[in-house]
Amino acid sequence: MKTLEVHDIGEIIRKVRKERGLRLEDLADENISPATISNVERGVPHVGREKALYLIKKLEIDLDRVQELLQGQQLELERMEKALFRAECLQDLGDPRQALKKLAKLEVKNSHPFASYYYYILGKCHNRLGHWAKAERALFNALRLGDESDTNIISAAYTELSLLSYYQNDLEAALKYINNGIQAFKNNRDRPQFKYIMQRNKAIYLERLGRLGEAINIVHEVWDSLGEIEQIETKLSFYWLRSELSQRTGVYQEAIQYAEAGLELARFNYQPSHMFDLWIVLAEVYMKQGDWEQAEECFDLALTLRGKISSSDRDKFITAYSRLGLLYMKLNRQEEAAEMLEKAIRLGESCDDVPRLTTALHLMGDFHLQQNKREEAAVYYRRELEMARKHHLKKKEYQALLRLAQCFENVDEQEFARLTRRMYKVQLELTSEEGAIGEEVE
């Protein structure tokens, strides 16, 4: 008797017991406890064949009818699986509300074999709609009910929980959940592409946390397997990661190489959102090399894609406006720089994207500090510092403290000393993480 058959027979036993108005305790005897009966009915895999057959005999269920009942049960399971798949397709195509309507029509009890799948889709829908509490509750149900599953629904639920944390700017929790998902992943099971999706997400969380070395290691580990990645968005994300991490660590030729290769792949597959990201990376590389003309041209190309990018991806414009503002600062085009940085800050506040918003605030502080307006600069650095502390962004906290110390040097020596002491403490906290601390705005 296979695991699925044990579960199906358990469902039959439960139905017959309830039809006869029997409690678990009524069916229990010296040979089988109420807890074991419950396990049989729920199809818990470690329950033996003998216990299920014992209950069938005790309830006087006709063995000749079991196969017929099982076939009916199997047909019902297939229908339910297809209905859930259709709901998941609707959600993934950007219509979570319609998917929720489909789910509402289904009767899925916690004992159902696809209960964890149902709650996973429910959690995804609420996550996309920003219903954080509902999403979290549904996804924890998926984890609880999928614990004995022989599928990768546990990894999928952890991946969604990591996204839920990421959307709420809790990068440490996002990293914890994605690590759990990677650990739970089973090879040669369903959802094989989640192996790469989870690695991609982990690398992005590490990049946002400023842990560039760890992110680079993941990208290098996956790189030789890019041909196995079926989802073009995931594959292009790795091209972006490799080029972005290369430019952040000063390996400019490699950054250009992978950005251009990614652009060719994105162009061929008509992926404007990824083209946007890669043009921004190239602009940053050229800016760091002092090639202002090419940098501005790359920014212009990225911004021409504005109308082709989904509103759900508007947060990426925060980076574009911030980096373009920096370019204008270097070109001494002060009005344009201020305009771009103000746009970046407003959009960062609107999207509640803390990693990108702190960068925009830092650059606006630099804009004022460049003009020796220390008081104005300090306002932006303090905002950056407060957000970095709240969201455990240690490198950004260090950067904000460094700039604030510059603002108070030779102005308020007591405050300067306090800031430098705090910088020292943060630096000690960062010693277990990768890399030397510099002034690069991440």
> What pLDDT, on the 0 to 100 scale, is given for residue 250?
96
Tell me, yes or no, if the two domains 3-61 and 314-442 fold the same way.
no
- Global pTM reads 0.84
Nearest C-alpha neighbor of 422 from the set 379, 380, 381: 381
Q: How far apart are alpha carbons 88 and 200 in whole angstroms?
A: 21
Q: How far apart are alpha carbons 13 and 405 in whole angstroms?
A: 72
What dotted CATH number matches 314-442?
Answer: 1.25.40.10
Nearest 10 degrees: CA dihedral of 133, 134, 135, 136? 50
Span 152-166, pLDDT tens digits = 999 999 999 999 999
Span 244-282, pLDDT tens digits = 999 999 999 999 999 999 999 999 999 999 999 999 999
Q: Give the mean pLDDT of 219-229.
A: 96
> Which of 14-23, 233-242, 376-385 shows the lowest per-residue confidence on average (mean pLDDT)?
14-23
Contact predicate 11/73, CB 8 Å: yes
pLDDT band at 1 (very low <50, low <70, confident <90, very high): very low
Q: Give the mean pLDDT of 384-409.
A: 95
| Burial class, 243, CB count within 10 angstroms (exposed 0-12 / middle 13-18 / buried 19+) | buried
The CATH topology of domain 3-61 is 434 Repressor (Amino-terminal Domain) (1.10.260)
Span 82-124, pLDDT tens digits = 999 999 999 999 999 999 999 999 989 887 889 999 999 999 9
DSSP 3-state helix, strand, coil percentages of the chain (rounded to 5)?
75, 0, 25
Q: Is the pLDDT of residue 441 over 60?
A: no
- Beta partners for 32? 29
Tokens 């630096």 belong to which residue? 427
User: What's the full length of the chain, in residues?
Assistant: 442
Q: How far apart are alpha carbons 40 and 27 in whole angstroms?
A: 12
Q: Give the mean pLDDT of 322-348.
A: 97
Span 404-426, pLDDT tens digits = 999 999 889 999 999 999 999 99
Per the structure block, which two tokens stand in for 273?
């959102």
User: Would you kindly state where each structural domain of the chain is located, as residue ranges?
Assistant: 3-61, 314-442
Q: Give the mean pLDDT of 185-204.
A: 94
C-beta atoms surrounding 265 within 10 Å: 18
pLDDT band at 402 (very low <50, low <70, confident <90, very high): very high
Expressed in angstroms, the distance from the first to the final Cα of the chain is: 56
Cα diameter, the chain:
93
Q: Give the mean pLDDT of 54-71.
A: 78
Chain-centroid distance of CA 175 in Å reads 9
Q: Where are the extended beta strands (E) located within 294-440?
A: none
> What pLDDT, on the 0 to 100 scale, is given for residue 439?
45
